[in-house]
Amino acid sequence: MNTLKRTIVICLFTGYWMIPFAGFGQKTLDQKVDSVLKLMTLEEKVGQMNQYNGDWAATGPITPDGDKQDQIRKGLVGSMLNVTGVEHTTELQKIAMESRLKIPLLFGQDIIHGYRTIFPIPLGEAASWDMKAIEQSARIAATEASAAGVQWTFAPMVDIARDPRWGRVMEGAGEDPYLGSQIARARVLGFQGKGLGHTDAVMACAKHFAGYGAAIGGRDYNTVDMSLLTLWNVYLPPFKAAEEAGAATFMNSFNTLNGIPATGNSYLQRDILKGKWKFQGFVVSDWNSIGEMIPHGFARDHADAALKAISAGNDMDMESRSYIQNLPKLVREGKVSVNLVNEAVRRILKKKFELGLFDDPYKFSNAQREKSQWDNSANLMVEKSMAEKSVVLLKNEGQLLPLNREKLKGKTIALIGPLVRSIRQNLGFWSYSWPDDSLRVISTWKGIAQKVGDDIHLAYAKGCSITDTSKAGFEEAVETARKADIVIMEVGEAADMSGEAKSRSNIHLPGVQEDLIKAIYATGKPVIVLINAGRPLIFNWTSAHVPAILYTWWLGTEAGGAVADVLFGDYNPSGKLPITFPRAEGQIPIYYDHFNTGRPPKNANDLNYVSSYIDLPNSPAYPFGYGLSYTTFSYSDITLNSPILRPGGTLEASVEVTNTGKYPGKETVQLYTRQMVGSVVRPVEELKGFKQVYLTPGESRKVTFALTVNDLRFYNAHLNEVYEPGDFKIFIGTSSAQVKQADFKLEK
Ligand code: BGC
């Protein structure tokens, strides 16, 4: 045994971590990893590839337990999920330090939109189109979680979602590959901060690789069948962006993709991710997704599943026990090459080194840091601001909003609906519920009460519940509305009606809530409706009749304060929809960047053998990119610096945007293009850029976008990323459906 090796062994056995790795000063990371790898038995190696759920919370069906602590002590566990807090992580890390090689455990958790401070659901944040704010939200989530012993978040979820029946639309950035890629990048940068090794950085995990959002019928975990063109042009770009932003890990997914489960899919994991993209991190399975290859009909048993998963490039097994129970035997029988195991372990150990866990396994479990991040008021202020930016104003007829506090002095506002006083609901799915939530989370009732003080009288009636069909509370609600000067209603889904395993076939406003809106509207009082949901809902009657509608998603800990600011004009809404809102479930999947077909309708009434429904227009209830402000913006025509773009050159497209209303406000100016003819058909519109401008009343600003050929690249039939010379249209406007237009040519 050479001196270096002996030093490692001594130190591994004694726990003097600083000494061996100080001695490694001149060694590369790979050499350090190899030195550890050489000391490991086959069982210990497979142990690093094994992840169990802790006892704190379960985010999937629990598999039979065994004595986890004993297995940690034997070096048979590399990572735990759902073990939270300094106390628990320290406890388990201590057990890992009793193992022969003292390799530290990794603690992973779903920090999807905050840890202690809960931010708006990711789909809500996406509506802000504000990359700095989204990055900051992830940064705060990472700071709080890493102070509680978590080193790894299973986020961002970057699945493109074109089907609002799928409950997990709430967890991502919506339907668009470009916006989704920008947000994927912002979230990875936010989570990983200044880089792994800093105590406030957690490893990001881009998930679910890949295609999960296209589950047939919007039913969670369902089969996915899509062309490779769609995979490459629509579903992969946000993953590529996450990889390029340095995401330390990837998670594969439950679904099959064109007949092969993603978890056992070497085209996805080996060819694309680790091959073409040269991803250096590791891939974790989804919860039991290795075991689920058995019911999929892709693996005979757990041994077969383990073989198929590792061969396909899955490095770590979350909760299926297929690896730990079968891989050593498979290697000994010569069915799995030990090189595959070594490669996976190398990837995992490398991240443990990068995090600094070999230097100090307790680095992230620091009681003082945990305390300092527990109730951080600065974080709450950022949350409130993020919540305000996430709200989307869908309608504001007759400028009913913002409410004027002066004019309402001495008057009565009726707050009606099942969500007005809700507390926990505001946190949405994928959030942690703490015992003191009822004190911390601001309901709409509380937010408005704090804002108006004694100046305005508030009255309340629940009216109905979210899902049941009783109208027993209508009378009281109508009475309350009659006595008031203005009514604010808050309706929607319950927080747990969207999220994992929360697909819905009917996405109308649940229960009798729209009937309640009708009853209140019939009083003749001015009505404002706030809609909480984790997905686009359908509420056509409300859209047609109620003068003011705000889409408020799930806004997090400070929800009510943010809503009050928006209602009373202390924040002028600026959110834009990151996903199309359908008129009916029958239109789904509906998305703005569709192809034209050979028979596009000439107008909404055209039914003459064209691609349309005879009972519904093709257009959505609200288009992608849509969102109003209390002020109005006008757009000049587009000016181009040249009608021709050549490779190496830049096309500058400008518009003059003017605030034509009464309030200062922020507008998200959106740029779309269309390639008129291609070697494969191209979408009618594709988002290629956006800029946010803040304008005071009367103020104008020239907004210029610079396009190069790189912005016009796409994957062709051979899956090569190309640009193709020809005619293009460029669109700039306030949403995907309201734009100015110009033409240019891309020359060779
Ligand atoms: C989900 C993942 C999640 C994992 C761990 C699974 O059921 O699909 O997104 O990270 O559970 O909680």
Which tens digit of pLDDT belongs to each residue from 203-261?
999 999 999 999 999 999 999 999 999 999 999 999 999 999 999 999 999 999 999 99
pLDDT, mean of residues 3-23: 39
Exposed / middle / buried, residue 102 (Cβ in 10 Å: 0-12, 13-18, 19+): middle
Q: Two tokens at 424? A: 């926990």
Do 3-371 and 633-746 share a fold? Answer: no
CATH, domain 633-746, list 2.40.50.100, 2.60.120.620, 2.60.40.730, 2.60.40.10: 2.60.40.10
Backbone angles phi, psi at 250, to 5 degrees: -125, 150
pLDDT at 55: 72
Give, in order, the Cα–Cα distances in Å from 448 to each of 9, 117, 219, 401, 671.
63, 21, 38, 14, 37
How wide is the angle at C-alpha 280 spanned by C-alphas 276 and 283, nearest 5°? 90
Question: Of all residues in the chain, what percent carry a pLDDT higher than 70?
Answer: 95
How confident is residue 426, by pLDDT bands cut at 50, 70 and 90?
very high
Is residue 286 flagged as an active site residue? yes
Asked if the model's pLDDT at residue 58 lies above 90, the reply is no
Query: Hey, which of 286, 289, 503 would you mutate to test ligand 1's pocket, going by the most ligand atoms within 8 Å of its Cβ?
Result: 286
Q: Which of 56-60, 141-145, 226-230 has the lowest mean pLDDT?
A: 56-60
In this prediction the pTM is 0.96
Three-class SS state of 466? coil
Whose CA is closest to atom 6 on ligand 1?
287
pLDDT digits (tens, 9 = 90+) for 548-591: 999 999 999 999 999 999 999 999 999 999 999 999 999 999 99
Ligand 1 and 168: CB distance under 6 A? no
pLDDT at 2: 39
Asked if the model's pLDDT at residue 22 lies above 50, the reply is no
pLDDT at 256: 98
pLDDT digits (tens, 9 = 90+) for 341-350: 999 999 999 9
Asked if the model's pLDDT at residue 57 lies above 90, the reply is no
Q: Cα(324) to centroid of ligand 1, in Å?
A: 20
How far from chain centre, in Å, is Cα 217?
20
Asked if the model's pLDDT at residue 372 lies above 60, the reply is yes
- Cβ-contact 541, 514 below 8 angstroms: yes
Single out the catalytic residue among 286, 304, 315, 593.
Answer: 286
How far from chain centre, in Å, is Cα 434?
22
Q: Across the chain, what does the average pLDDT equal?
A: 95
How confident is residue 73, by pLDDT bands cut at 50, 70 and 90?
very high
How confident is residue 303, by pLDDT bands cut at 50, 70 and 90?
very high
Q: Cα(286) to centroid of ligand 1, in Å?
A: 6
Task: Tell me the domain boundaries of the chain.
Answer: 3-371, 380-582, 633-746
Answer yes or no: CATH 3.40.50.1700 is held by domain 380-582. yes
CATH, domain 3-371, list 3.30.2350.10, 3.30.1340.30, 3.20.20.300, 2.40.30.10: 3.20.20.300
Exposed / middle / buried, residue 622 (Cβ in 10 Å: 0-12, 13-18, 19+): buried
How confident is residue 64, by pLDDT bands cut at 50, 70 and 90?
low
Query: Hey, which of 191, 284, 287 would you mutate to test ligand 1's pocket, going by the most ligand atoms within 8 Å of its Cβ?
Result: 287
Ligand 1 and 500: CB distance under 6 A? yes
How confident is residue 56, by pLDDT bands cut at 50, 70 and 90?
low
pLDDT at 432: 87
- Cβ-contact 203, 153 below 8 angstroms: yes
Alpha-carbon Rg for the chain, nearest whole angstrom, is 27
pLDDT, mean of residues 467-492: 98
- Cα–Cα nearest to 2, from 38, 28, 30: 38
Sheet with strand 738-746: strands edge to edge: 644-645, 738-746, 726-735, 665-675, 686-695
